[in-house]
Amino acid sequence: MVQTVTSIQLIESVSINSDRLESLYSGKDFRNAENTICRALERLSSHLHQCEHHFQAENLDALGKAARSIVPIADQLGMERFSRVATSVAQTVQSGDAVAMAACMGRLLRIGEGSLMAIWDLQDMTI
C-alpha cells in the first residue's frame, strides 16, 4: 500500500506602504534616514525573535507585550500587514484561544520575515 503525504507550503505576500516609508526621508538627510530605518528594522527583528521565543516557551504575557511592541514600529515603516498580524497575535493572547494564537504566530513569522526582507531589498536598490 502506497501512502501519499501532502505538503502545504504557506506563502504570504507582503506589502510596504511606500508613502509612509518615503515620509521618513522628508526633512532628513539620506544618512540619518537610513540610520533611522536600520534601527527600526533591528528592533522589529528583535521583537519578532522575542515573539517566537515567548510563544515556544508558552510565556503568554511576554508574547503579548512583544507582539504589541511590533505595531508602532511596523506602522512607522509602512508595514501595515505586519502590524495587523502582530495586533492579531496580541488579541489571541488576550482571548486565550490557543489554536488561533498558533495560526496567527505562524502568519506573524512568515509576514514579519518577508516584510523585513522586502525593506532590506528596497534599501539595497537605493544605495
Q: How many angstroms separate the CA atoms of 2 and 119, rounded?
A: 45
Q: What are the cell numbers at 110?
A: 512568515
| 91 half-sphere exposure, CB direction, 13 A CA radius | 11
pLDDT of 127 reads 44
Q: In the CATH hierarchy, which top-level class contains the domain 27-126?
A: mainly alpha
The pLDDT tens digits for 4-30 are 877 776 777 888 888 888 888 887 788
Dihedral sign computed on CA atoms, order 50, 76, 12, 34: negative
The pLDDT tens digits for 35-68 are 989 999 999 999 999 999 999 999 999 999 999 9
Query: What residue segments make up the domains of the chain, in order of their start?
Result: 27-126
The pLDDT tens digits for 80-100 are 999 999 999 999 999 999 999
